[in-house]
């Protein structure tokens, strides 16, 4: 039943009311990278299934995965994997109740961003 005294106010604050914070942006990117990893995995599964189906199917899948588009998707998937992993460690630290003040959360968020970029570049250079 609606509250008649409420007037024309929104039920809860909307996104346009708040200024995005680093912590909220990194949290949103954690969800985005988790879903994006599914796309990369689907491409790899397609490549493996094509290898099992036959040479023509494999040639098509391999052509896509070794093209500039495939390289870009796999590179971004690698970054997403590192980002999602480091963000998971960040949330694990918070689950134990550590580093939850604003300065520490900002520091951890920057560590997730910077660490994911550095680890992606190191992984590409090593492999």
Give the residue numbers of the binding site for heme. Answer: 84
> Token pair for residue 52?
């099992």
Give the Cα separation of 93 and 15 in Å (integer): 27
Which residue ranges make up the annotated binding site? Answer: 84
Which of 69, 75, 65, 64 has the alpha carbon at shortest distance from 124?
75
Radius of gyration of the chain from Cα atoms? 21
Which of 34, 11, 23 has the alpha carbon at shortest distance from 107?
23
CB burial readout 74-102, b (16+ within 10 A) else e:
bebbbbbbbbbebbeebeeeeeeeeeeee
């Amino acid at each position: 039943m609606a509250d008649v005294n409420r007037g024309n106010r929104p039920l809860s604050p909307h996104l346009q009311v708040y200024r995005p914070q680093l912590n909220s942006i990194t949290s949103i990117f954690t969800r985005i990278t988790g879903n994006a990893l599914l796309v990369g995995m689907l491409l790899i599964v397609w490549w493996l299934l094509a290898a099992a189906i036959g040479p023509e199917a494999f040639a098509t899948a391999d052509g896509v995965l070794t093209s500039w588009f495939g390289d870009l998707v796999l590179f971004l998937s690698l970054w997403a994997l590192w980002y999602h992993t480091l963000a998971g460690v960040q949330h694990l630290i918070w689950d134990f109740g550590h580093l939850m003040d604003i300065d520490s959360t900002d520091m951890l968020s920057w560590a997730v961003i910077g660490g994911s970029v550095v680890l992606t570049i190191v992984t590409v250079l090593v492999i």
